Structure 1
Amino acid sequence: MNDYPLLNLFLTMMYVFLWVLWFFLLFKVVTDIFQDHSLSGWAKAAWVIFVIVLPYVGVFVYLIARGRGMGRREVQQAKEREAAFKQYVRQAARDESEAGPGGGHVSELAQLAELKDRGHLSQEEYEKAKQKLLV
């Protein structure tokens, strides 16, 4: 134990943390490169090669050159996903209302879940009934 003092343990933990942080940043940059629709295929290829060949310089140059847009693109994608989810919910509710009272898969699944929650159905029975509805 005397060969590995507490300071060395702390430094090792810090290096591991920085190493994991670096990979997180690298993956975030590469993900942003591929999700950016304003970049052409050649520009994406050039950025990826730059980030792979000179990883530290490439990532830092990317963050300086395009870092501000990363946040905007992420917010825009979140808004698009939320809008798509809301559209799906509206469509499912519309389909449910068109099926009439007591009809449709959504209400049947809700009834099955309620029966399972009350203890009238076991987990296996619930899974089997759910599979019948979804097929």
Structure 2
Amino acid sequence: MSFWENFWDIFWWFIYVYAFFAFLFALFVIIGDVFRDQELTGWWKAVWIVFLAFLPILSVLVYLIARGKGMAERTMERSRRNQEEADAYIRQVAAASPTEELSKAKALLDAGTISPDEFEKIKSSILV
């Protein structure tokens, strides 16, 4: 009987593959957290990496139990900081100052692209 003929063999194979990829994901998240943590000294980072290399399953479990809450807090803080930086960049790039908008409208008026009435509408909308 071949492997693919037995449903339970296939089922358990998928469970093992899922567990392996979940372990790898947790391992890489923990390694990233170890290197991003500003509170850990270089020696503690080295100790965690050595334990993760030689006792991976036990080290992952210990790290998640001992430092899991701090890991979540650091992730949320990093996420908040990234969002603030992105928002500041978007505001800086997207929003022109009122004087820039007014000078653009004046240039359009001088070029004859817009009428004086349209210029006054733009001016009033900028200054409001």
* TM-score when normalising by structure 2: 0.71
**C-alpha deviation, 1:75, in angstroms:** 0.4
The equivalent of 1:23 in structure 2 is 24
Residue 94 (structure 2) aligns with: 93
Aligned CA-pair RMSD: 1.6
User: What is the identity, as a one-letter code, of the residue corresponding to 1:3?
Assistant: S
Paired residue secondary structure (1:38): coil
**Match of 2:46, as an amino acid?**
A
Residues in 1 aligned to 2:8 and 2:59: alpha-carbon distance in whole angstroms? 32
Unaligned runs of 5+ in 2: 106-128
Which one has the largest radius of gyration?
Answer: 2
Partner residue in 1 for 2:60? 59
Greater relative contact order, per chain length (Cα 8 Å cut-off, separation 6+): 2
* Structure 1 residue ranges without an equivalent (≥5): 103-135
Q: Distance in 2 between matches of 1:90 and 1:10?
A: 51
> Taking every aligned residue pair, what percent have the same amino acid on both sides?
34
Displacement of 1:3:
2.4
- State the SS of the aligned residue for 1:16: helix
Aligned partner of residue 45 in structure 1, secondary structure: helix
- Equivalent residue number for residue 77 of structure 2: 76
> Structure 1 length as normaliser, TM-score?
0.68
- The alpha-carbon deviation at position 99 of structure 1 amounts to 4.3
